Structure 1
């Protein structure tokens, strides 16, 4: 096993860590959505690097299929999260309903 799969795995772990740190640090919902997508990219990169089985063998197709499915699910979940974020931004900013109290 060469050093390039290890390099890709370490890079994926770093990207995942950066995304996780940003999602925990930022308070803005849009920034958190983007950070979670970045951490997903790190996981996808690690899965693809784990599929490597050597120079003379073909890579394992199962992790590649999982990554392709994960990309589709991530795009759909991101669209849903952005739609929910837009809907939340349109709501009034009051925290209590004082007009309903006697």
Structure 2
């Protein structure tokens, strides 16, 4: 079994687990964590696709994954800030 298949399998498993958790839970924080897990699965799939190009791996999917990680971290921080503001607004 090659590394590409391992990354692809892990990517599908993470995406499926995140989608299942997103549909199952109602809490906003759990949905946010589920979306991050789904994003990690997509990143694994992109790395698996990059490895299929041959010994010199294709740098474009790697750059997309790196950019996606930065965007995911900033979007998570923004969603947490909005969630906290929503929670404090409903407590009043």
Structure 1 or 2: more helix by fraction = 2
Instruction: After TM superposition, give the deviation of residue 7 of structure 1 in Å.
Output: 1.9
Corresponding residue SS for 1:58: coil
Pick from 69, 74, 86: which aligns with 1:71?
A: 69
Q: Which residue of 2 aligns with 1:97?
A: none
Cα RMSD for the two superposed structures: 1.5
Instruction: After TM superposition, give the deviation of residue 83 of structure 1 in Å.
Output: 0.3
> What number of residue pairs does the alignment pair up?
91
- TM (normalized to structure 2)? 0.91
Structure 1 gaps of 5+ residues are 95-102
Structure 2 gaps of 5+ residues are none
Instruction: After TM superposition, give the deviation of residue 39 of structure 1 in Å.
Output: 0.6
- TM (normalized to structure 1)? 0.83
Q: Which residue of 2 aligns with 1:98?
A: none
Q: Which residue of 1 aligns with 2:40?
A: 41
Q: Which residue of 2 aligns with 1:92?
A: 90
Query: d(CA) in 2 for partners of 1:71 and 1:9?
Result: 18
Q: Which residue of 2 aligns with 1:99?
A: none
Q: What per-residue deviation string (whole Å, max 9, x for no partner) do you get for residues 15-72 of structure 1?
A: 0110111011110000000110011000001100110123xx2110000000000000
